Amino acid sequence: MASALPQPSRQSTSTPTGSVTSLSSTTRLKPLQLASDARRVSSASPSKLRSPARPSLGGGVQSNSSSSVTSLRSTSAAFASGGTDKGLRRTVSIASFPQPPKANSRLSTASVASSTSQTPRGSPDLVKSATGTTRKKSRLSSATTNSNRGSKTSSLNNGIDGKAVQNLAGIKDSEGLVSASSPPQSRSSSAQGSYSTSATTFDDTEDVGADSTTAGKKGPRPKEAKGNVLVSVRVRPDNGAHEGSRADGEWMVDGRRSLIAFKGKESYDYFYDNVFTTHDNNSRVYDSSAKRLVRRVMEGYHGTVFAYGMTGTGKTFSMQGTASSPGVIPLAITDIFSYIRETPHREFLLRVSYLEIYNERINDLLSASTATGPGAAAPQEEIKLREDSKRGVYATPLKEEIVQSPTQLLRVIARGDHARRTGSTQFNARSSRSHAVVQIVVESRERAPGGTSSQDKRAAVPPGGVRVSTLSLIDLAGSERAAENKERRTEGAHINKSLLTLGTVIARLSESKEKAANSTDKEGKHLPYRDSKLTRLLQPALSGNSLVSILCTIQTGSSGSAAPANTHTNETLNTLKFAARAKNNIVSHAKRAEEAFGGGNGDAGSRVLLERYRVEIQTLRAQLENQTKVQVENETKVEEERIEKEHEARHEEQMLEMQLARTALKERIEHLNRLILSSKSTGVNSSSATAALERLSRVSANLESGSRSLRSSASQSTLGASSLRRTVSQYSLASGDRSSGYQLQRSSLVPEDDDDTIGEYGDGNASLQMQITALQADLSDKNRYISTLERRLLQARRSSHSRMSMGLSQHKNSEDVDVTAVLRERDMEITELRIQLDDKDRMLTALRSAARQRDIAQMPMEAAGSEKQASQRNSEGNANVLASPPATGPTSPTNPVSPIKALEKEKEKDGKRKSADEMSRMLDEMIQDRVETGHLAKSSRGSIRVLSGTANRRESIGPVPPALGPRSAIAETPEADA
Ligand SMILES: Nc1ncnc2c1ncn2[C@@H]1O[C@H](COP(=O)(O)OP(=O)(O)OP(=O)(O)O)[C@@H](O)[C@H]1O
């Protein structure tokens, strides 16, 4: 069927000029490299066959003879360059995109296009050129058509179509329904659900040198034929009917030649940059129509891809795709990240926004408040379109999300998709009821040299500014006939109106260019961009500031459509006409975005997040460093203060200890002084007791037991001296100055030899009294000392608590050990002192009772003495007067004692013996008690010694003489033994 159709284009291809032949071979060889290598080629080879783009070129082209396509292209290149090498390089550097129809070609093709869409096949513009008739204009048009086709096939299909073109040249009558297969290199699915593609699968870098082999003088280079506007048509499979089998006409889709032809009441042939047949999948559509644009966006150009077509023809399918066949958006995302991975010398920042235009209102699809239904948040703030010189037209306020991975970006877009309005229409069960715009803003900057870590690199000042480019991926709502549902009708009215405005704008673009060329109205402000939000938003792209790729979707058959066949065909033809107009009218002079410097200079500067972030990072890092410095200083200060406080506390403690020691020593000195005085004046020691005993023995030889008991008490007093000595040693221990304590003890203690200590004024009674007093003083001393120790203990506890609460973990262990040791020592001291006190108490009790006993014993003795004196006096008197009876007393024959008195004396003697026995029993009990408590040890011979534990503590004092032990004193006293 297709072959039955006239094939004017094939004719034209079959009658190529030399340049066309050259194109074929060129594209076969390396279409992509050539495509990208526009700069060098344009400068190096002025004879490039390039469609002139500028209206001004028209004249020149027209003046050129059609037979000299080479010179024509050369001229166009010169025009494209604006007459300067620099401009030329710049313009051509982005020529990896197929060039739009240029001046004369546009002029001619504009007319062709308009006639194409309006005139049936056979009109001179198409048919004649296609058939190769020899009229000049036709040939010119034909040449243009061919070059367009050549360019698009070579540049967009990544080599595949280049091959197809070459084949095409040789197979004039090949079936147009065959389409080239998708390039196999493209992508494989990744674990994350994204698709890894190689952003470098084509060699279109500007740096690629001119390939002289492909830039033959005979034919145009593919890159020369490329433009910044790409128009593709995709044909959706027609379920339930065979293509071209509709009764109202026949369709022919030739993917290889990018041709769609219709033969009906009127016949049309449409050539585009790409024609995708029903067999072409999304991957191929992306590779041919958007991949290069995405790459250019990554290099700093603005790019717009939009899908246009009737409802249900596959716009959303092409843009979003499915899980098994991802569309343009996910594939573009994958490529963006592949490019970033493959460009290590630059750093990137991506932010994405997603909006929809629904019933002429802009909704932010990423804002949570877009959600509808119960529980939905308050309606979002109205989003308006604004314009400024740097950013062009933009929507505000619009949420932008920074994304760092393909998965994240896909997720953000999926969220937006979810929020987008869809509904059921006659053509599509899930029809998009709004125009949806995904905008990905790409910021990139040369990485700072030096430094290995990413931190170093970020800290360094980068060599260049930040380039900001935007990729807009737009899924338009489908045009449709009036629906029955009122809501759908309203939506449809808005959709149709905006699409109509878009069509009008595009249709008027050529007029605008003509006018712009001839008048001062360079901006083309007469174009009705403001008539709809869609055209307003697309204004920057349509007015030439960005690379554009338009994907028009059609369905040749009307199966599945509720619309009548002829209506459907008309709609499809309208889409094709729109595509043709777009192809012919839109001219892009997209330039690489300028690099912005500084974080906050003007609006553009403030928008550059990458720079703002860098500045912010630097500021924050400086702040962090300052804070760290301050923190370190503070910590040092706190540590110093802590150490100082610790020193102070230690010093205070030491002072306190010293003071205590001094107080203790003073008290001790006073006490010892008191003792010395006492011993001198009253003989408070064992000697006094012995003297008393001797006196007693002089009075009565029978009071041996009494003397023994007194001796015991003298021993007891020695024990007291010993305990006093111990007290001194404890004082010295407490003061921490053992040697001085020892000295004191050595120098001030009572002499150890009992015999030496017998005082002159030994009076048993007084001595006991004094001893009691001394012991009481000692007791009060000890009490004072205990309270001092308790105070110190409390202080030590308090200071240890405060130290612990200061959280000084580093000193904690050692101090804890110290404090615990000190506490333990103090506790032991206190315990020992208490034991001593108990001893003393018991001793006091014993001494008191001994004193009482003695007092009792003394009273009869004194009475007896006075009686004796009296009797002596009487006997003396009686002797003088009367003869005295002879003395009968055993003790003194001269002092005879009456039997009653002797009896009394016996009684008295018994009492004394009793009290002495009682005392020695008490002392024995005490000694036994001390032996049991482990203070003393009893040897088998009955001698007593101080235990080593106790002795150890007394080491500072020196060895305790055995005589000091009370029991030893008793044991070594022969009287006691007896
Ligand atoms: N090339 C294709 N191959 C297979 N199925 C397709 C193709 N194009 C579209 N479809 C299917 O056709 C149906 C409609 O497609 P889609 O929703 O993409 O149309 P649309 O143009 O976006 O419609 P609308 O404008 O109403 O949103 C979907 O079920 C989709 O899967």
pLDDT of 632-653, one tens digit each? 999 999 999 999 999 898 888 8
Rounded CA gap, 108 and 115, in Å? 10
Provide the pLDDT for residue 707: 41
- Kindly state the average pLDDT of the residues 651-656: 87
Residue whose entry in the numeric block shows the structure tokens 């001094």: 662
Question: Across all residues in the chain, what is the average pLDDT?
Answer: 63
CATH architecture assignment, domain 8-596: 3-Layer(aba) Sandwich (3.40)
Contact at 8 Å (CB) between 834 and 828?
A: no
Binding residues for ATP: 309-316
CA of 319 to the centre of ligand 1 (A): 10
Q: Residue 553: pLDDT above 80?
A: yes
Is residue 431 in contact with ligand 1, taking CB distance under 6 Å? Answer: yes
Atom of ligand 1 nearest to the CA of 430: 17
Residue identifier of the C-alpha nearest atom 14 of ligand 1: 312
Nearest-atom index, ligand 1, CA of 234? 1
Helices 85-93/69-80 angle, 10° precision: 100
C-beta 82 within 6 A of ligand 1: no
Cβ neighbours, 10 Å, residue 615 = 14
The reported pLDDT for the residue numbered 482 is 60
Residue 307 has pLDDT above 90, yes or no: yes
50 lines ligand 1 (CB under 6 A): no
Distance 310 CA to ligand 1 centre (A): 10
The secondary structure of 653-720 as a DSSP string is: HHHHHHHHHHHHHHHHHHHHHHHHHHHHHT--SHHHHHHHHHHHHHH-TTTHHHHHHHHHHHHHHHHH
Task: Provide the residue type at 55 as one letter.
Answer: P
Q: Distance, CA 236 to ligand 1 centroid (Å)?
A: 8
Which of the residue ranges 26-30, 45-49, 371-375 has the most confident prediction, judged by mean pLDDT? Answer: 371-375
Q: What distance in Å separates the CA atoms of residue 138 and residue 136, rounded to the nearest whole number?
A: 5
Decide whether any atom of ligand 1 lies within 6 Å of the 236 Cβ.
yes
pLDDT band at 458 (very low <50, low <70, confident <90, very high): low
Alpha-carbon torsion angle 747, 750, 756, 761, nearest 10: 120
Whole-angstrom Cα Rg for the chain: 61
Q: Residue 622's pLDDT is what?
A: 85
Percent of residues, the chain, with pLDDT higher than 90: 13
Higher pLDDT, 47 or 855: 855
The alpha carbon of 314 and the centre of ligand 1 are apart by a number of angstroms equal to 3
Identify the band that residue 718 occupies on the pLDDT scale cut at 50, 70 and 90.
very low
Contact 525, 509 (CB under 8 A): no
Residue 800 confidence (pLDDT): 72
Q: Which residues are annotated as a binding site?
A: 309-316
**Ligand 1: which of 234, 236, 555, 559 to mutate, most ligand atoms within 8 Å of CB?**
236
Inter-residue contact 340 to 348 (CB < 8 Å): yes
The mean pLDDT of 4-19, rounded to a whole number, is 32
What's the CA gap between 709 and 973, in Å, rounded? Answer: 12
For the Cβ of 314 lying below 6 angstroms from any atom of ligand 1, the answer is: yes
* Residue of 286, 317, 358 best suited for mutating to test ligand 1, as the one with most atoms within 8 Å of CB: 317
The pLDDT value recorded for residue 582 is 87
Give the start-to-end residue ranges of the domains of the chain: 8-596, 636-879+889-977
Find the angle CA(441)-CA(447)-CA(451) to the nearest 5 degrees: 145
Asked whether 561 lines ligand 1 (CB < 6 A), one says no
Report whether residue 434 contacts ligand 1, using a CB cutoff of 6 Å.
no
**Closest ligand 1 atom to the C-alpha of 282?**
1
Q: pLDDT class for 728, splitting at 50, 70, 90?
A: very low
Going from the Cα of 331 to the center of ligand 1, the distance in angstroms, rounded, reads 18
Alpha carbon of 178 to ligand 1 centroid (Å): 22
